C-alpha cells in the first residue's frame, strides 16, 4: 500500500497527511479497542454532577464494562462497582475498590463464601436464595431484588418484566416477612432509557406497588439502563426526582450506570482486508461482529460510524465464516480500498466483556488514549490466550 493519510470525516485511513508519530494509533496493529479518556471524562463529569445534585451514589455496572485499565481514572468520579457474578465482584473489589455490591441471579453453594468475602453488600435475587444463604451472608449488608412488572425494554430478550420472569420478587406480601433479614432493595427495570418522562412514570409505578417496603428500607438501587449522560438529557430534573424519592422514603439511592458511564468513549479500530462487489460494495475488515461486538448481532443493530455521509455506500463485513457477520452499511466520502482504516464508534459497552474466540479470529488488543493524547496498549492477545481458553 502506498502513502496513507487519516481522513477524520470518513473514519478511513486513505493516504498521508500527518507523520505517524503524530498519530500513534496508526502504529498499533488492528483490530483493537481504543478507549479515549477525554471522551470518558465527559461521562464521568456528568456522573459527578448528578451525585452532587441528587445525593445518589453511582456504581459502575461491570456486566457492561470491566476494562480495569481505566478504573483508577473512573474511581475519582464513582462510588464503586456492582456485579453479576463471583468473578465480577472479585474484580470490582480488587481492581476498583470503594463500595462493592454483589448480585447474581443465583449463587452456588461453592461460591457464596468467596462472594461475601469481596462484597460490602450482597443482593439476592429471590427470597429462597436469601434464606438459603442466611448464615453465610449475615455478616454484611443484605438486599433483595424487586421486580415491579414494568420496564422500558423494547426487546423481549432483555425485558426483566417479561412473562414468567425469574428476575426478582414481585409479591409485597411475600417480602414483608423477611424484612428483618435485609436493609434495602435493587430494582432494575430500565434498558437504554433516554426518556426522563418514562423513567418518572415507571418510578411512580414502583412507588405505588412497593411503598410499604420502601418505607422500611435504608437504601434502594434503581439499577442501570438510564441514559442520563446522553445529549440533552435533563440531568437537573433527573437529580431532583432522585432526591425527592430519597427524601420521601428516607433511603440512600444508588444508580448502576453501565452504558451511561462509557458511552461514546471507545472505538473499535479495524483495517480493510478485501473488497468485493455482489450487487453492493463490500469491504471485509480484520474483525468480526460476532466475536467483537456481539450485542449488535444479538439485537440485530448496526454499528455506528461518523459522520456516515458521502456518495459511496459500502457494506462493512466481518471476517468470520458467519454469513451475517455484517457491521452495517455506511456512506463514505471516498471509495474504500484494501489497507484503509475504519473506526467503529461507541464500542465500549457489552463488547470487551463479551468478546470471544469464534473462528479463532484475532482478539482485539485494548489501548488507552491518555488525556495528553498519548496512547498505550494495555493488553494484547496471542495464540497462547486462544489455546489456553480451550482444553
**pLDDT per position as a tens digit, 135-178:** 999 999 999 999 999 999 988 999 999 999 999 999 999 999 99
Question: Does a structural domain hold residue 23?
Answer: no
Question: Does a structural domain hold residue 280?
Answer: yes
Contact 126, 104 (CB under 8 A): no
- Distance in angstroms (rounded) separating the CA atoms of residues 102 and 374: 35
Question: Does a structural domain hold residue 119?
Answer: yes
142 and 276 housed in the same domain: no
Residue numbers in the known binding site for substrate are 259, 295
Copy the grid coordinates of residue 131: 434464606
Average pLDDT over residues 257-274: 98
How confident is residue 23, by pLDDT bands cut at 50, 70 and 90?
low
145 and 181 housed in the same domain: yes
Question: Does a structural domain hold residue 6?
Answer: no
162 and 236 housed in the same domain: yes
Q: Is the pLDDT of residue 14 over 60?
A: no
87 CB neighbour count, 10 Å cutoff: 12
101 and 120 housed in the same domain: yes
Question: Does a structural domain hold residue 30?
Answer: no
301 and 363 housed in the same domain: yes
Beta bridge partners of 230: none
Question: Does a structural domain hold residue 307?
Answer: yes
* Cβ within 8 Å of residue 231, ≥6 positions away: none
Average pLDDT over residues 78-100: 98
Sheet strands (E) in the chain: 6-7, 12-13, 32-36, 57-61, 80-82, 99-104, 121-124, 141-145, 184-186, 219-221, 252-255, 266-277, 281-285, 312-317, 326-332, 341-344, 365-369, 375-379
Last residue of a domain, one of 205, 229, 261: 261
Number of structural domains in the chain: 2
> What CATH number has the domain bearing residue 299?
2.40.37.10
273 and 220 housed in the same domain: no
The string of pLDDT tens digits covering residues 273-330 is 999 999 999 999 999 999 999 999 999 999 999 999 999 999 999 999 999 999 999 9
The residue to which cell 422500611 is assigned: 216
List the Cα angle 202/152/83 in 5-degree steps: 95
Q: Is the pLDDT of residue 231 over 50?
A: yes
Range of weakest confidence among 10-24, 143-157, 258-272, 290-304: 10-24
81 and 197 housed in the same domain: yes
Average pLDDT over residues 67-96: 98
> What CATH number has the domain bearing residue 164?
3.20.20.10
177 and 77 housed in the same domain: yes
Q: Which domain holds residue 195?
A: 38-261
Last residue of a domain, one of 207, 231, 261: 261
pLDDT cut 90: percent of the chain above it: 93
298 and 230 housed in the same domain: no
253 and 118 housed in the same domain: yes
Residue numbers in the known binding site are 259, 295
Last residue of a domain, one of 219, 237, 261: 261
Q: Give the phi and the psi of residue 278 in degrees, each rounded to 5.
A: -140, 65
Q: Which of 210, 203, 206, 128 is nearest to 176 (CA)?
A: 210
Confidence (pLDDT) at 24? 65
255 and 274 housed in the same domain: no
Amino acid at each position: 500500500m502506498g502513502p496513507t493519510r487519516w481522513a477524520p470525516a470518513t473514519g478511513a485511513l486513505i493516504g498521508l497527511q500527518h507523520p505517524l508519530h503524530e498519530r500513534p494509533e496508526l502504529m498499533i496493529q488492528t483490530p483493537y479497542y481504543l478507549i479515549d479518556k477525554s471522551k470518558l471524562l465527559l461521562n464521568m463529569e456528568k456522573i459527578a454532577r448528578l451525585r452532587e445534585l441528587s445525593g445518589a451514589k453511582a456504581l459502575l455496572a461491570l456486566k457492561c464494562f470491566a476494562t480495569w485499565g481505566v478504573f483508577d481514572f473512573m474511581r475519582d468520579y464513582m462510588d464503586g462497582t456492582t456485579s453479576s457474578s463471583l468473578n465480577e465482584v472479585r474484580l470490582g473489589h480488587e481492581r476498583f475498590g470503594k463500595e462493592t455490591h454483589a448480585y447474581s441471579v443465583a449463587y452456588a453453594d461453592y461460591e457464596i463464601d468467596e462472594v461475601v468475602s469481596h462484597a460490602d453488600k450482597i443482593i439476592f435475587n429471590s427470597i429462597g436464595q436469601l434464606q438459603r444463604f442466611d448464615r453465610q451472608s449475615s455478616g454484611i449488608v443484605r438486599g433483595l431484588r424487586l421486580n415491579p412488572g414494568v420496564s422500558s425494554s423494547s426487546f423481549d430478550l432483555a425485558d426483566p418484566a417479561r412473562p414468567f420472569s425469574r428476575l426478582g420478587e414481585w409479591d409485597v406480601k411475600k417480602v414483608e416477612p423477611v424484612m428483618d433479614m435485609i436493609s434495602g432493595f435493587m430494582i432494575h427495570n430500565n434498558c437504554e432509557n433516554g426518556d426522563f418522562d418514562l423513567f418518572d412514570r415507571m418510578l411512580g409505578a414502583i412507588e405505588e406497588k412497593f411503598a410499604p417496603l420502601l418505607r422500611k428500607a435504608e437504601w434502594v438501587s434503581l439499577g442501570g439502563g438510564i441514559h442520563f449522560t446522553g445529549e440533552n438529557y435533563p440531568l437537573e430534573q433527573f437529580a431532583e426526582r432522585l432526591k425527592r424519592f430519597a427524601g420521601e422514603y428516607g433511603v440512600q439511592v444508588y444508580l448502576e450506570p453501565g452504558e451511561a458511564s462509557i458511552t461514546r468513549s471507545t472505538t473499535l479500530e479495524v483495517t480493510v482486508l478485501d473488497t468485493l462487489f455482489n450487487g453492493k460494495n463490500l469491504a471485509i475488515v480484520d474483525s468480526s461482529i460476532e466475536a467483537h461486538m456481539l450485542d449488535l448481532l444479538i439485537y440485530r443493530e448496526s454499528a455506528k460510524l461518523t459522520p456516515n455521509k458521502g456518495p459511496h455506500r459500502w457494506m462493512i463485513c466481518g471476517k468470520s465464516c458467519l454469513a451475517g457477520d455484517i457491521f452495517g452499511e455506511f456512506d463514505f466520502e471516498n471509495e474504500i480500498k484494501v489497507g484503509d482504516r475504519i473506526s467503529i464508534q461507541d464500542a465500549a459497552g457489552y463488547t470487551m466483556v463479551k468478546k470471544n474466540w469464534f473462528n479463532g479470529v484475532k482478539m482485539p488488543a485494548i489501548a488507552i488514549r491518555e488525556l495528553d493524547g498519548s496512547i498505550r496498549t494495555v493488553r494484547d492477545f496471542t495464540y497462547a490466550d486462544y489455546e489456553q481458553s480451550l482444553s
